[in-house]
Structure 1
Amino acid sequence: MPESSRIAIVTGGSRGLGRNTVIALARTGVDSIVTYHSNKDEADATVREVEAAGANGIALQLDVGQTGRVGDFADEVKRALADRWNRDRFDFLVNNAGTSHFGKIGDVTEADFDDIVAVQLKGAFFLTQALLPLIADGGRIVNVSSGLTRFSTPGFAAYAMMKGGIEVFTRYLAKELGSRGISANTVAPGAIATDFAGGMVRDNPQMNKMIADTTALGRVGVADDVGPMIAALLGDANRWVNAQRIEVSGGASL
């Protein structure tokens, strides 16, 4: 393995935007540690695509909502880096894993709210904390947020609150990690036609049309609109981009 190989950890990398990001990174020569929640077959298929693109990858199981286990995951990463890459550091962290939630404010239960906090906010915070000692100086962090932090769609208040917190977290990461040369940015996709939220955007023609009609470029997004953008953000040409929220929505709700 060449010493110059760069390594990314992409959470939720076995499907949707995470998978697309992993494959886009592979095409730029970046290796990946792909995390998956429960579907190992999907994760293994993603790793095969990474290898077909000429990069290297492995899949590790991770439930980001189980913050008590992030230390164990960090230990797994440390072993994987040593065994597979003969390294003790990785370069890029993409906090992508998450779950959807739809519910009007009056209908959200405390249990619902706690579940969203655990995955979207607390999970990203404490996973990043656990991995900080393993991120190489000069590395980069990308946190995936949502267009819903800028425009409001009824039913997504709790979800959008968490993503708003992630955007604040990103700026603090950039400030606190600057002395190590580590940058941190937020990528905020608009509505994307994937299986996220049960395929709400992809499979509902009425919703799909409504979003397309309110988007400057006249369609909903697809995963290929986002993964390559994240890969480009992690490329050398964007080394001076830091503490930014970059929306990738085709001009939604302008």
Structure 2
Amino acid sequence: MSKGVSTLKIVDPAKADKPTARKTRVTASGKSAAKSGSTQRIVDSVTTAIAERRLMPGTKLSEQKMGDIYNVSRTVVRQAFNQLSRDRLVVLEPARGAFVAMPTVAEARHVFAVRDILEAAVIRQLCPVITDPQIKELRYHLQIERSAVSDNEVSGRTRLLADFHIVLAQMLGNQVLVEMLSELLIRSSLIALMYQSSHSAEASLSEHVAIVDALEKRDVKDALRLMGKHLDNVLINLHLDPHSLDLAQILKA
């Protein structure tokens, strides 16, 4: 799994939409360490662009252009593409190059099915043990979400709405769970780019508020219901009906 999805932290609202740069670690291994750092920098950059819905599915990623952008060799770029390919964010096609992945309808359904299982587990474990300071932290996150939604900051609000789910998982202290959910959320961003119709950021924010209200009451049953409803609503706003791709049906319409 890629380390490009970093652990998320609540930050000052004024800095919420400014990604923190990852510093390349300098070691005695010299060029080897620098090359590794450059590879990860590209992986992080592409991953973030996908998560914030700035990089569209099917976009061709030229080795030469990427090398020029990051001032690295094509070998380093190729290493980054290989890592992104393993994370299913990039597809490598022989004689054609690298492309941002285009999830299928089946994959979209599978991703959300797994998210439903994982996020229900998060709620079920977290609700009985969540602390008042953690509730305060979630309220602060909702405040930042609300600010981004009000200001119509598309990339910022997209990231923050996704971060909400990661923050919940982080509160359990299980880094493996955090990384698994982070990967699914990145893939969800690709799916949304391809299939989303009119998903409302305002609606998602309201649903997040309701989930936190239930957590504050330590109402496991209601929190589970609200999280399930939230994920169902995201799916409702996706065009995943394969019949809509039938050419005869489209032309007759």
More helix by share: 2
- Structure with larger Rg: 2
Which structure has the higher relative contact order (CA within 8 Å, separation 6+)?
Answer: 2
